[in-house]
Structure 1
Amino acid sequence: MRITVSAALALTLAVGVTQAAAAVDAPASTDGLWRMDGYGTVLALRDGQLQEYQTTAVSCLKGFAARQTRPGVYTTPDNVVLTVRTRRDRDRATVAIDGSAGHRKLRRIPALPDDCTRPAPSGPLASFDVFWHSFAENYPFFSAKGIDWESMRTRYRAKVHPGITRDELFAVFRDMVSPMYDAHVAVGDGDKYFAQGRPGTELPTEELDEKAKKYIVRRDLAKARNLRNFANGRITYADLPGDRGYLRISGFDGYAAEGAPYSAERAVLDQTLDTVLTSQRAKRLKGLIIDLRINGGGSDLLGVRIAERLTDSPYVAYRKRARNDSTDPTKYTSPEPVRVTPAQAPHYTGPIAVLTGGSTVSAGETFTQSLIARPEGRVVRIGQPTQGVFSDILGRVLPNGMGAVLPNEQYLTSTGDTFDGPGIPPHLKEPVFTEEEFAKNRDSAYDRALNVLR
């Protein structure tokens, strides 16, 4: 799983909502300056342009930009669409960023923060301070991971001096975040890049995905019927003996042409689901295996869209909140429910076996979480715990042109807990794509699923 670090990072990786905000006014009233609740962000909407400012206690740096494409709607050069709507008092608004779940609340402010009107800080120490504060003010998991970020500052700032090279500074940042073992944390400088997952897991790559897919087709699907690939090969479906189905999803993006907007991704998914979950098949199936063992994530809302084809009753998939106090890591935005509404199309409501592992990442995990509260129940998770990263990714630019990404959100269960860190555990533990499994021509998780769905 490769994360691209750029000025537009916050949007290309942390795409937002499609649900409409309540009690909205005419979009023309959105012009002005807005501070986001959480996210360390100020938005300037003027003269048909949107400009992001990334703020900390010591800095304000320009982030992504977008142009107005219709009233209240802005599009980035990467075709990410933002929709801004004010509430009745005109000093409150929400921003909807196509592709993931939850609103981001905005409050009108009279002027840009002072740091935004001064020359940006420069030099290695300035970059270090912005880096450290970006995590100190936004990262939610220091306590859970046993990391003393204050001591990290004392230890590593002493290594930074005016003559430090870029490679040396990159190494400092890498060493600071290494103890997090968080796949949603990364540091980048041009082609140089560092990220890592939870110990004992392997992050998904195209090579791993292709290897697993070939193995599954050869071993597990040898007797399957109607084997087809969809969505640029990201989705595979097959009918199995005994009126069971197999649905493999390797990610929640990349369905349409490169650079296509979320609407195109959604259209391809809908077409795929219409082909796979026909009315006849949805009624005939006695069990469905959903294979997420190699899943690199993507759009949370595409996962919600699949969940909408797997239920007859509306329900809350999870509640989402973001850290919003720079000095108090226990303070968050109000949790917002992300809802699953049954699709106006054929849907399957029978038993499901979900296959997961440490290479089930991000949106692959939020989709898994969305099935936990499925009213029909009868969802059994088999394999290994997921990677343990759920948040949209917050992109930060540094004064020297380097970049970093980090999570700042939590996805809450009905009991107010999260699976961040250890991941979502399976009901039934089985090895997942180990060397021993490959060597002995085994797929224990798949075989267990077949037994469960008898």
Structure 2
Amino acid sequence: MGIGHRRSVARAAGIAAVALAVTAGTIGAAGAAPDGDPAQRPGANRLEGVWQTDGYGTIVEIHGTTFSTYDVTRISCTPGFLAGTQVGATGPGGAVRYGRPGKGYGELTLTPRGRDRVVYKEDSSAGTKNLSRLPGGLPARCTQPAPQDALATFDRFWATFEENYPFFAAKGIDWQARGAQARAAITPQTTTDDLAGIFKDLLEPLGDAHTVIGRKRADGGYGLVFEGLRPGTEEPDDQAREQAGRAVAAQLLAPERTFGRDRLGVGELPGGIGYLRVSAFGGYVDDGSYQDLAAELDKALDLLLAHPDRLSGLVIDLRLNGGGSDELGLRIASRLTDRPFLAYRKAARNDPADPTAFTRPQPVTVRPAAGATHYTGPVALLTAGSTVSAGETFTQAMMQRRPTTVRIGENTQGVFSDIMIKPVSADLIVGLPNEEFRTPTGSTFDGPGIPPDVRTPVFTPEELAALKDSALTEARRLLAAGAGR
């Protein structure tokens, strides 16, 4: 049973497949400034023009049916990683769907709010982004080729993190001092390999699994050069994952039914307890839309919850979850409640000069799924250091569910934000977080992760050698004793 899915693969949206297509040009390419204010032309598309995001360091340019982006810092403006084309006709209120060129489905929606504001929503991401019109059109510096020398590349990299990364203070990192020291060592002979190594040396001390470096391959894609990890955790190898699957299977009444290319598993434990394994919140189909992923997830949930009144409890296993779509996590939560509840509030850093300034916290609510069965009984979540990203936002959402969800195992990894992908040269891209997922009291779990209610070993070598699973055993015991009722 393939219980695990590698973190780097599950977060491939950060390197190989972002929301839309990689732009055809390089970071040195320049766009053309629009001629006048398109919004004033009779019968014009209400989205036509140039827009600035609140936070995220992005300019969005819409011309006709095309969508493109620029990444901006105080020192640079370069063509961004995202581009797409309109899918279908304009919807109610002027909403337009955009997707990858050549695909028949959309992946995000832009909706005008009056003349000078736009709301941006990715299908797979919780919450929205706000954009404001830039009345002067594309800034002049965005139309000039970006310098490609090593020093300019380093400065773009450093400024991207300086202006967007929220956690330097929490992690005790003096980014100014470390950046100055690294910059002093750069010469005209510094190569791309050298720069990748310098970037890695700067990012590794952050211990942040949402920091990424990628390098362009000969085939045009990007290979992973570096991704961070919280100190004290390590990536389970294939052998450990296989052993973990056998340890779980030893407690199931029958082999689990798998869905979504083995990223989802449904089984039954003794005493009428249901079991749901979620090894990733994505990757369930080959090159499909969010709606295709949701449909595959629904198949697993429909089997699991075919007779919710017969379940005495439910175990959701997130211990080897590499992340993915926050919306898919909310979709599971919507089957586990009969009343709306606040999952979390999402805010993004939005002032390059002030790391404490964030967008207005945006509430994200779980609402009961319409036209589907629901389970409202006790739930136990199994978590570990290899519970990452969307696995953690789902865990955070379930903490607000009633009745209470009991968490068993280890702290999650401690990364919650969507990953922003930013090109810093023609050959190098970086990924970084810029958001906080806040609890109702305004706190976050970034860094240490979400702690369990009950701490147990999780897939240790000793337990795996004995086909033992203390966390699953404890979940069964607690649910049988009435925990979470």
CA contact (8 A) 1:27 1:84 kept: no
Residues 76/209 of structure 1: CA separation in 2 closer, same or farther (3 Å cut) = farther
CA contact (8 A) 2:321 2:391 kept: yes
Deviation at 1:402, TM superposition (A): 0.3
Q: Could you tell me which residue of structure 2 aligns to residue 216 of structure 1?
A: 248
Question: Mean alpha-carbon deviation: is it higher for 128-137 or for 437-446?
Answer: 437-446
Q: Could you tell me which residue of structure 2 aligns to residue 47 of structure 1?
A: 64
Counterparts of 1:226 and 1:27, CA distance in 2: 58
Q: Are 2:378 and 1:346 equivalent residues in the alignment?
A: no
Any idea what the Cα deviations from partners look like across 1:15-68, whole Å, max 9, x if unmatched?
xxxxxxxxxxx9931111100000000000002100110111111111221011
Any idea what the Cα deviations from partners look like across 1:97-146, whole Å, max 9, x if unmatched?
11010110000012112320112122001110000000000000000000
Counterparts of 1:36 and 1:139, CA distance in 2: 16
Q: Are 2:50 and 1:33 equivalent residues in the alignment?
A: yes
| Structure 2 residues not aligned, in runs of 5+ | 1-6, 23-42, 91-95, 217-222, 481-485
Deviation at 1:340, TM superposition (A): 0.5
Q: Write the letter of the residue equivalent to 1:75.
A: G
Q: Write the letter of the residue equivalent to 2:269.
A: L
Q: Could you tell me which residue of structure 2 aligns to residue 19 of structure 1?
A: none
Of the three residues 143, 147, 150, the one matched with 1:117 is 143
1:28 partner SS = coil
CA contact (8 A) 2:214 2:428 kept: yes
Deviation at 1:206, TM superposition (A): 6.2
Of the three residues 52, 56, 61, the one matched with 2:73 is 56
Residues 116/197 of structure 1: CA separation in 2 closer, same or farther (3 Å cut) = same
Residues 337/259 of structure 1: CA separation in 2 closer, same or farther (3 Å cut) = same
RMSD: 2.0
Q: Could you tell me which residue of structure 2 aligns to residue 369 of structure 1?
A: 396
Of the three residues 54, 63, 67, the one matched with 2:85 is 67
Question: 1:269-308 residue pairs with structure 2 within 5 A?
Answer: 269-278=297-306, 280=307, 282-308=308-334
Question: 1:372-387 residue pairs with structure 2 within 5 A?
Answer: 372-377=399-404, 379-387=405-413
Of the three residues 298, 309, 316, the one matched with 2:335 is 309
Question: 1:154-165 residue pairs with structure 2 within 5 A?
Answer: 154-165=180-191
Counterparts of 1:90 and 1:268, CA distance in 2: 39
Counterparts of 1:45 and 1:158, CA distance in 2: 40
Q: Are 2:446 and 1:428 equivalent residues in the alignment?
A: no
Q: Are 2:213 and 1:187 equivalent residues in the alignment?
A: yes
Deviation at 1:205, TM superposition (A): 6.5
Deviation at 1:272, TM superposition (A): 2.0
CA contact (8 A) 1:309 1:347 kept: yes
CA contact (8 A) 1:196 1:203 kept: no
Deviation at 1:267, TM superposition (A): 1.1
Deviation at 1:406, TM superposition (A): 0.2
Residues 67/439 of structure 1: CA separation in 2 closer, same or farther (3 Å cut) = same
Question: Mean alpha-carbon deviation: is it higher for 165-174 or for 435-444?
Answer: 435-444
Any idea what the Cα deviations from partners look like across 1:165-198, whole Å, max 9, x if unmatched?
2211111000000110000001121335111211
Aligned length: 434
Counterparts of 1:228 and 1:415, CA distance in 2: 39
Question: Mean alpha-carbon deviation: is it higher for 390-399 or for 184-193?
Answer: 184-193
Q: Write the letter of the residue equivalent to 1:143.
A: A
What TM-score, normalized to structure 2?
0.86
1:144 partner SS = coil
Of the three residues 113, 116, 125, the one matched with 1:100 is 125
Deviation at 1:389, TM superposition (A): 0.3
Any idea what the Cα deviations from partners look like across 1:406-453, whole Å, max 9, x if unmatched?
000000001100000000000000010111211233211111111101
Question: Mean alpha-carbon deviation: is it higher for 76-85 or for 334-343?
Answer: 76-85
| Structure 1 residues not aligned, in runs of 5+ | 14-25
Q: Could you tell me which residue of structure 2 aligns to residue 18 of structure 1?
A: none
Q: Are 2:257 and 1:228 equivalent residues in the alignment?
A: yes
What TM-score, normalized to structure 1?
0.92
2:132 partner SS = strand
